[in-house]
Amino acid sequence: MTHLLIEPAQEGREDLAAYRARGGYAGLEAARTRGSGWVLEQVTRAGLRGRGGSGDGRPIGQKWQRVAASRVPERYVVANAAESQAVSRKDRYLLARFPHRVLEGLLIAAQALGAREAYLYVRGDSPEALDGARDAVAEAGAAGLLGGVSVTVQPSAPTAVSGEETAILDALEGLEGYPQPKPPRPEEIGLRGRPTLVQNAESLAAVAALFRLGVDRVRAVGTPTCPGTALFTVTGAVDRPGVYEVPHGTPLAQLLALAGAPPREEILAVLPGGLGSGPLRPDELDVPLTYEDLAALGSSLGNSAVVVFRRADATLPDLVRENVALLARGSCGQCRGCREGHEGLLRALEAGDATEARRRAEVLLYGRGNCAFPTGTARFALRALQEFPAFARP
């Protein structure tokens, strides 16, 4: 299996010496030597997609270009490792085990966008990830690698939506860390009113890999529309839960086999992209892991947290009700449509009224607030209600 983001054989945390021995920070040096235009061109040519929890896989290059296009000279860059959505573990794993890869990607972004201040926004209840981030900044600083960029490690706010990008800006400005109305997007008006790149930690590790290995090497892996590899958190009814790196386009069944999932006939459903993704039936597990293939099935790659449910452990109605209850508790509650929409959906499921549940989920689907959280709940519920025999219409 090709690995671009991690070294499976690495024991403990990869320190600066180990990372440099593998070519680490040579990409940053090249970026600083060849300049912003070249860096932006490489990022755009590589076609890397954002790996954040929104799951839409927006091209990283487009996001960087929007910040670069601003006439405001003062910019900020933020690595998002808040990983606030339930189940996902990949970003804190990266920070705990391979923090220099995220930091190098962040410094390359700072160089490309002319930012002098950078933030590593790290899940606040993960001491391993926070220690990894702090150690990496200290090591890179002592080695003179920061290049005049001030890097602050900031623990994330303790909310289920703290990883949403405007919530991060809110928290970095000393507020509670709640999602804000959009537009404007952070690339236009972000931290302290300045253009700000908020980029997921795994995405930044992919940028570091790109500048370490080159565009051709990265594009040789994955698919034409989803180049490279991705980290997946696999959990639930599997023998070897954990974080796995596989190329985009790998069949989901192959990833499940790596994690020791039960045979198909024992599987009830699989969530491919976190709790807010459409559940897949056992006969759909050969789907290639790309944004497009999962969207075509009415599901999503989401935060690439794969959850396996076994028939012997739950019935589908129970699973759907419990998952929606979990998601409803994650809503920060500041938007009435999201709060009441979750409550109404849950009430309908508890009453066993699939028709009303469908209606409620359809209302939630098109967004009822400041962030995409309710859309995830709706995607999950609608696909379960439409595609599984347990909810067949009379």
Question: Contact positions toward ligand SF4, by CB under 6 A?
Answer: 161, 179, 331-335, 338-339, 369-371, 373-374
State the Cα–Cα distance between residues 90 and 121, nearest whole angstrom: 15
Quote the least distance from Cβ 376 to ligand SF4, whole Å. Answer: 10
Quote the least distance from Cβ 84 to ligand SF4, whole Å. Answer: 10
- What distances in angstroms separate CA 134 from CA 137, 151, 336, one per listed residue? 5, 10, 38
Which residue do the tokens 């969530």 mark?
A: 271
Query: Given the complex with ligand SF4, which of 98 and 373 has the nearer CB atom?
Result: 373
DSSP designation for 51:
-
Structure token pair of residue 140: 């890179």
DSSP designation for 157:
P
Q: Find the length of the chain.
A: 394
State the Cα–Cα distance between residues 338 and 132, nearest whole angstrom: 35
Which residue do the tokens 């309908």 mark?
A: 348
- What distances in angstroms separate CA 339 from CA 333, 347, 371, 376, one per listed residue? 5, 13, 12, 14
Query: Given the complex with ligand SF4, which of 3 and 339 has the nearer CB atom?
Result: 339
Is the CA virtual torsion 85, 88, 91, 92 positive or negative?
A: positive
Quote the least distance from Cβ 296 to ligand SF4, whole Å. Answer: 26
Quote the least distance from Cβ 157 to ligand SF4, whole Å. Answer: 13
Is residue 80 within 8 Å of 52, Cβ to Cβ? yes
Q: Which of these, 49, 18, 32, 5, lies nearest to 289 by C-alpha position?
A: 49
Type and span of the H or E element at 355 = helix 354-365
Structure token pair of residue 302: 């989401």
Quote the least distance from Cβ 306 to ligand SF4, whole Å. Answer: 23
Query: Given the complex with ligand SF4, which of 217 and 339 has the nearer CB atom?
Result: 339
Quote the least distance from Cβ 171 to ligand SF4, whole Å. Answer: 13
Quote the least distance from Cβ 166 to ligand SF4, whole Å. Answer: 9
Query: Given the complex with ligand SF4, which of 135 and 340 has the nearer CB atom?
Result: 340
Quote the least distance from Cβ 178 to ligand SF4, whole Å. Answer: 6
Query: Given the complex with ligand SF4, which of 214 and 337 has the nearer CB atom?
Result: 337
Query: Given the complex with ligand SF4, which of 119 and 373 has the nearer CB atom?
Result: 373
259 HSE (CA, 13 A, CB side): 24
Strand partners, 294: none
Query: Given the complex with ligand SF4, which of 185 and 310 has the nearer CB atom?
Result: 185
Query: Given the complex with ligand SF4, which of 47 and 53 has the nearer CB atom?
Result: 53
- The stretches of 16-84 forming alpha helices (DSSP H) are 16-21, 26-34, 36-46, 60-68
